[in-house]
């Protein structure tokens, strides 16, 4: 063989070796063929191999390879993030606006988002009342909780180590906030304003509810009605309060605006025009989603990033998690997602709390 040919063969072999070194796996062996559903490991979670990505199934508690859809992005939590001290699972909760089954269903998209982004199992915690979520977060059993403004203030007052990770908004350009409604059956001609609530059976929602108790109490006091002197009952959830009015258990009641105007009509539990709104509060500070700040800093930072940049309808559609914004569910109501906020945003709620002399404010 000529010297030139030998030289060319040597160069070719060297280049071939370099190419093989580039694509060879860490174990230097031939990469096994991956099929959808094959097992992977926790260490590989979020990593891709060709058209597959290592995912986690909360029900089976197994890590498996799944086909990657082109529209779905990989986790945004950096692979080298310091996860020292992170819990073995992350728990999301919310004060109840509906029954536990409905709440769990409506939060499944948010739970899946956090599970994929954090790389650890995520669960939804359902409580039967507001106090259940407040106490669970104080006891460090719930890591991220969606509150009403008043229940958030109560949780802080009781010692929960939390701060808002974001505030719910109705649209990407919307202003945080919502209203409390005073309601009655449309056929109840004896009630046309909040002044007519005197002497009636009144449904509040929960002692810790902002739009279901705190602001209604302020509204009644302004109308010269002392709730302590009236026949008051607590329905437990906003939907239950509306349905109690519909069914005649209560003559009048209170609930937040979306529950009356959208949610119960959409699910067929009331018909449009069946319930009339005779009183509306002023704009209430938007509802916060609060993270435990006694978690590791790296986890708190990751949670804040997900809440603001990923937990909204626009991002969920872009990532392929929702088919459209109109069908996308982030939390239990029609909120678009979250904007940044601070604890001081809720000082107005604290002022209303003081004006009503509510024992919950202490």
Residues 306 and 340 in one domain: yes
Residues 143 and 108 in one domain: yes
Residues 355 and 300 in one domain: yes
- What is the domain count for the chain? 3
Is 254 part of a structural domain of the chain? yes
Residue reference for tokens 């070719």: 12
Residues 319 and 351 in one domain: yes
The answer to whether residue 30 scores a pLDDT higher than 60 is: no
**CATH code of the domain containing 253:** 3.40.190.10
Q: For residue 188, what pLDDT band results from cuts at 50, 70 and 90?
A: very high
Q: Specify the higher pLDDT residue, 309 or 30.
A: 309
Q: For residue 255, what pLDDT band results from cuts at 50, 70 and 90?
A: very high
Query: Span 250-277, mean pLDDT?
Result: 96
Residue range of the domain that includes 40:
35-68
CA distance 355 to 362: 12
What angle, rounded to 10 degrees, do the helices at 347-355 and 215-222 form?
Answer: 50
Instruction: Please state the pTM of the whole predicted model.
Output: 0.71
What six digits make up the tokens of 209? 């509810």
Residues 266 and 303 in one domain: no
Residues 237 and 276 in one domain: yes
Is 21 part of a structural domain of the chain? no
Residues 217 and 307 in one domain: no
Residues 170 and 312 in one domain: yes
Is 171 part of a structural domain of the chain? yes
Write down the pLDDT at residue 16: 37
Q: How confident is the model over 99-143, as pLDDT tens digits?
A: 899 999 999 999 999 999 999 999 999 899 999 999 999 999 999
Query: Span 14-41, mean pLDDT?
Result: 53
Is 263 part of a structural domain of the chain? yes
Residues 169 and 296 in one domain: yes
Q: Could you say which of 255, 280, 305 is where a domain stops?
A: 280
The answer to whether residue 306 scores a pLDDT higher than 80 is: yes
Residues 276 and 310 in one domain: no
Is 108 part of a structural domain of the chain? yes
Question: Are 93 and 137 a contacting pair, CB within 8 Å?
Answer: yes
Residues 184 and 147 in one domain: no
Query: Span 161-182, mean pLDDT?
Result: 95
Residues 223 and 263 in one domain: yes
Is 135 part of a structural domain of the chain? yes
Give the lowest-confidence range in 40-44, 54-58, 179-183, 277-281.
54-58
């Amino acid at each position: 063989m000529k010297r030139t040919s030998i030289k060319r063969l040597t160069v070719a072999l060297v280049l071939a070796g370099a190419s093989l070194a580039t694509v060879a796996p860490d174990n230097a062996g031939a990469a096994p063929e991956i099929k959808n559903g094959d097992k992977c490991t926790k260490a590989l979670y979020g990593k891709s191999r060709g058209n597959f990505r290592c995912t986690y199934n909360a029900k089976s508690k197994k890590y498996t390879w799944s086909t990657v859809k082109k529209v779905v992005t990989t986790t945004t939590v950096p692979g080298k993030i310091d996860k020292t001290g992170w819990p073995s699972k992350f728990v999301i909760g919310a004060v109840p606006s509906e029954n536990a089954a409905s709440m769990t269903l409506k939060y499944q998209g948010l739970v899946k988002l956090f599970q994929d982004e954090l790389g650890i199992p995520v669960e939804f915690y359902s409580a039967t009342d507001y106090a259940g979520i407040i106490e669970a977060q104080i006891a460090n059993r719930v890591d991220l909780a969606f509150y009403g403004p008043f229940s958030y203030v109560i949780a802080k007052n009781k010692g929960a180590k939390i701060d808002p990770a974001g505030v719910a908004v109705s649209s990407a350009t919307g202003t945080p906030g919502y209203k409390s409604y005073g309601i009655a059956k449309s056929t109840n001609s004896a009630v046309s304003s909040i002044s007519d609530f005197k002497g009636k059976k009144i449904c509040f929602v929960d002692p810790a509810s902002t739009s279901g108790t705190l602001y209604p109490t302020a509204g009644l006091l302004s109308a010269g009605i002392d709730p302590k002197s009236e026949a008051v009952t607590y329905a437990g959830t906003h939907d239950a309060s509306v349905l109690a009015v519909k069914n005649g258990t209560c003559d009048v009641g209170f609930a937040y605006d979306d529950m009356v105007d959208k949610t119960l009509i959409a699910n067929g539990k009331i018909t449009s025009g069946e319930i009339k709104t005779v009183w509306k509060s002023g704009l209430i500070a938007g509802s916060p989603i609060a993270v435990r700040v006694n978690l590791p800093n790296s986890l708190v930072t990751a949670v804040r990033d997900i809440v603001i940049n990923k937990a909204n309808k626009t991002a969920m559609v872009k990532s392929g998690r929702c088919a459209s914004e109109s069908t996308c569910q982030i939390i239990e109501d029609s909120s678009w997602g979250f904007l940044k906020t601070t604890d001081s945003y809720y000082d107005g709620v604290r002022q209303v709390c003081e004006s009503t002399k509510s024992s919950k404010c202490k």
